[in-house]
């Protein structure tokens, strides 16, 4: 391309190709699925993700599996930034869950006696610490 012609093409607005116009139209349709800027966007994305999980399950060959994976990644990123899970000792998590579900130690026999000893719920014991 000659320098003058090159300068002229840079100054003139480029015409979009048929493909570009088609992609722009398609993106306008799917953009709401993949943009999470607000809490309401996040809630909608969680609902959409739940529906995709119900439909797809673990079928990696499903036509929407990549969409589900992408949306899950976006939801996870939002959660990491806006809804972080505080670091908590495993013993406190176990005690909380047992209380929330009205469970006693004898209700969890299948877990194994090592984890159900009274010291598991005491301040000195931390699950996974090996002590």
* Burial profile 31-68: b = 16 or more Cβ within 10 angstroms, e = fewer: eebeebeeeebbeebeebbeebeeebeeeeeeeeeebb
**Structure-model confidence comparison of residues 96 and 125, the more confident one:** 96
Mean pLDDT of 75-101: 89
Q: Do the Cβ atoms of 98 and 104 come closer than 8 Å?
A: yes
pLDDT confidence band for 15 (50 / 70 / 90): confident
Report how far residue 112's alpha carbon sits from residue 53's, in angstroms, rounded to the nearest whole number: 32
Cα 2 to Cα 8: distance, rounded to the nearest angstrom: 10
pLDDT of the residue at 125: 45
Q: Tokens 């398609």 map to which residue?
A: 26
Q: Is pLDDT at 130 greater than 60 in this prediction?
A: no
Query: Which of 24-28, 67-71, 118-122 comes out lowest in average pLDDT?
Result: 118-122
- The answer to pTM > 0.85 is no
């Amino acid at each position: 391309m000659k320098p003058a012609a090159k300068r002229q093409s840079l100054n003139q607005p480029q015409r979009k190709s048929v493909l570009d116009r088609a992609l722009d139209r398609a993106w306008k349709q799917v953009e709401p699925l993949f943009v999470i800027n607000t809490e309401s966007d996040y809630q909608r994305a969680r609902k959409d993700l739940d529906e995709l999980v119900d439909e797809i399950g673990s079928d990696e060959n499903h036509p929407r599996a990549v969409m589900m994976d992408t949306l899950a990644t976006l939801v996870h990123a939002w959660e990491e930034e806006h809804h972080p899970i505080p670091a908590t000792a495993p013993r406190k998590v176990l005690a909380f869950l047992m209380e929330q579900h009205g469970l006693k130690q004898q209700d969890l026999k299948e877990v194994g006696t090592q984890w159900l000893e009274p010291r598991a719920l005491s301040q000195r014991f931390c699950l996974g610490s090996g002590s």
